[in-house]
Structure 1
Amino acid sequence: MDALMDAGDIGMTLLTRWIAKERLRDLLAFARSGADREHVGHVRYKFLTWCADSGIPEGRQLAITVDCWWPEIAACIATGHSNATSEGVNRIIKLCARNAHGFRNPANQRLRTRCVTTRRVRGHLRTAQLR
């Protein structure tokens, strides 16, 4: 932190963004802790005010985005479940299609995407788990 503070304006901007990221990670960490609503609300308030008062446009936009998505985030925190797995599979499928520059054979496309998305089952892909 001291090195960033000594770096001037660019260092302070990076430090502000890093703190915002860490506060968001603290907020999302409650998905595994089972914290009460009051404590979650307090950490959410700290995150939103930090982003809004940060003085950088990205901080305000991040606060607006998290506030708009709050019902979904709160559901993830309350239940510990999210759609991250399906979103990850969709990302892998799209990446596979981009890397192939378009498939001419639909059967080959299905086979290739199935092979790519089942690597974890076969033990080749190690992804982070929510729980």
Structure 2
Amino acid sequence: MEFNKIIAVTGKPGLHQVVSQSKNAIIVSSLTDNKRVAINAAQNVSLLENIAIYTYEEDVPLLKVFKAMFEKTEGKEAISHKENSKKLEAFFAEVLPDYDAERVYTSNIKKVIQWFNLLVKSGMDFSKIETPTQETEKE
């Protein structure tokens, strides 16, 4: 399973892995039940690798947040996303201490924790994923 092929689809629960592409749609497989579905161009799709969390300094890519959660939980699932907001915010503050609490809502934290748990349950090993580096080319 490759992190750069994991997507969230608006209106569909859970996460999906891109399997194939056709002219008008992408074929995805659900991480929870492995059912394949065609997602058409009208549906909103977000690649997890393109999502970032607001901090007071700069935006932190979701992969870095997941890696920090993976280290904190020692490769196990994190707390449930159904915990109360104080526990969720406290856990998230341990993982990403300088997150912008005014712009990162509890609903965002719930979703990140839910996604993390889903990925860990699916066998994603964040310790083996390379963090992409941005290289600027000078011409």
- Name which one, 1 or 2, has greater alpha-carbon Rg: 1
More helix by share: 1
TM-score norm. by structure 1 comes to 0.29
Higher strand share: 2
